[in-house]
Homo-oligomer: A and B are copies of this chain.
């Protein structure tokens, strides 16, 4: 149950009630919001007496539920918004990993050429082998931050584990929580306290229910700027790296109030299909696309097979606009 607490109540009392009723709470713009387990199906008198409003939800998808908030949450990115009534779709692009200043400058220049506002690149790579490139780490973060300032780009970069979350929070404009870290409470709790947008990528073995419940960790901790990203789930099919779950995207659009972006690059893992899948996402009217593009994919230190080169990306970008128009969206 979600309870909007009466504005006159002091935090100390909210805290007491939360402890007593095994609830969590946070302070929204003007009020305290207290959330109990969804299994609580009637409101105790003590809570009723301090409730301005209350909402029963079917499952522990509560703050993220469209039954709670009808409209998609509106989130500011640079000078633009996604969600709300804006009909915007943001393009976020860039290389898998930060490899050099030259590479990042070329990526930034490509984005400026196309009026794209958000640059993605990873400093900490969640590799599964200890014997492969692990990312430039903090030096990479600082470089990215510098280039972002210089080119006036929003920086999107990934936190791999809770030991670097503070550094990423400091340097990123938009924090990305990677698929392998989706369940990481250390990261989720830190990101709950930040006033920056967070892109939460779906774990490739995570159900939609778990995915949105991880977003709930941040929402219920006070960060209302959570964006969901579908990037492919692991299935029996091995011809492609993962299986992009657009049925899942349809579900999330229908039942949650969070903006949704689609990452075709990690889903298929091969550049040949990225453009088609990006167009599919656009035709579904998603709030954003996250696409890997590299000045020279053949020499990329990670994800070489799936990154578009600059010309391929330009060609794709050109085809997205008419589809956006066909479904009433604007590309930012």
Count this chain's copies in the assembly: 4
B204 near A205: Cβ-Cβ < 8 Å: yes
Size band of the interface chain A makes with B: 35 or more
Which of A124, A237, A281, A323 counts the most chain B CB atoms within 10 A? A237
Confirm or deny: A322 has a beta carbon within 8 angstroms of a beta carbon on chain B: yes
CA distance A280 to B22 in the complex (A): 40
Which residue in B163, B183, B273 is a CB contact (below 8 Å) of A250?
B273
Confirm or deny: A152 has a beta carbon within 8 angstroms of a beta carbon on chain B: no
Confirm or deny: A153 has a beta carbon within 8 angstroms of a beta carbon on chain B: no
Chain A residues 71 to 118 lying within 8 A of chain B, measured CB to CB, are: none
- Interface membership of chain A positions 214-241, coded 1 if the CB is closer than 8 angstroms to chain B and 0 otherwise: 1011001100000000001111111110
Write the chain B residue with the least CB distance to A185.
Answer: B161
A128 near B280: Cβ-Cβ < 8 Å: no
- Note all chain B residues with C-beta closer than 8 A to A35: 130-131
- Interface membership of chain A positions 120-132, coded 1 if the CB is closer than 8 angstroms to chain B and 0 otherwise: 0000101011111
Query: Given known contacts A126-B185, A205-B205, A280-B281, what 7 new A-B pairs fall within 8 Å (CB)?
Result: A128-B210, A161-B162, A162-B186, A181-B183, A247-B268, A247-B277, A253-B276
